[in-house]
Amino acid sequence: MQVKVAKTAGFCWGVRRTVDQLMEVAHERQTPVVTLGPIIHNPQFVSRTRQMGVGTVERVSEVEVGTTVVVRTHGAVKPELDAARERGLEVVDGTCPYVKYPQAMAQRLSHQGYHLVIVGDPNHAEVKGVVSYGEGPCTVVRPGAEIPPIDAKKVAVIAQTTCIGADFERVVGALALRHKEVRAVNTICADTDERQTDARQLAAEVDAVVVVGGKNSANTRHLAEICKEIQPRTWHVETEEELRPEWFAGCTLVGVSAGASTPDWVIDGVAARLGAMAGGPAALDAVIPPV
């Protein structure tokens, strides 16, 4: 059995940027450092930062004076950022620039009088942040869910950055038949689209797929869903400890994909364990993405 790792597996540019910011702050600051929400959606990485002394808070009211606050990759709700600055806390904004785009569009489009529609998970940190930048009525439509009636002539549609393109297209198309004016702004991250394309190609080439990443990671879950549609033998794991030999009975080639918030060392651990299951490192033919 050989193992092939997707070329886009692992940290995306935005996540790596935020992680680098956090590491720099954690090593240089003499004052306490906390992140506003988990810095990325990967429990293993968050656990490592906790061992470094970096705490995690959900609200600025929990932060003591003199603490440096690092905003997570997914951004934060505007009132929390305003509260941090009003208290004079040092804020390091680790929000991914690609997440800042839907935030800016939410503010601009709602200011222009559009009823804002966001295609995404209403419980996701990124979507909550985007909603907070809106200045008027806003409706969040979960992918695959029914689109509720919206009493507005002008509607603008944006998407969670990790949204699947087909879900965004479905909502835009349906609203175009209901309203006089519909403006669609594609805020899906280009990295997300490329990663999903790679996952589809990988799933079509292999006998089984392992998707690596946090169970709380939206983009990782989407990758698993995409792969499973093509290759039913698809499993979503966080670490190599979850792998089971019986999953790969009869397989000659196993593919490994990973979410944008999955560290390289976690991916390497899964690939190595798969290689060991096949009889040792010699059976590993992985294309490891560059650091």
Number of H-type helices and E-type strands within the chain = 9, 12
Q: Which residues contact 43 (CB under 8 A, 6 or more apart)?
A: 214, 216, 238
Which helix or strand (DSSP H or E) is residue 272 part of? helix 264-277
Verify whether residue 126 is a known catalytic residue.
yes
Which helix or strand (DSSP H or E) is residue 228 part of? helix 218-230
Q: Is the dihedral of CA 17, 164, 187, 127 positive or negative?
A: negative
Q: In the Cβ-directed half-sphere of 285, how many Cα atoms lie within 13 Å?
A: 8
Q: Find the catalytic residue in 80, 126, 238, 240.
A: 126
Q: Which residues pair with 155 in a beta bridge?
A: 115, 182
User: Which one, of 124, 201, 162, lies nearest residue 15 by Cα?
Assistant: 162
SS3 47: helix
Catalytic (active-site) positions: 126
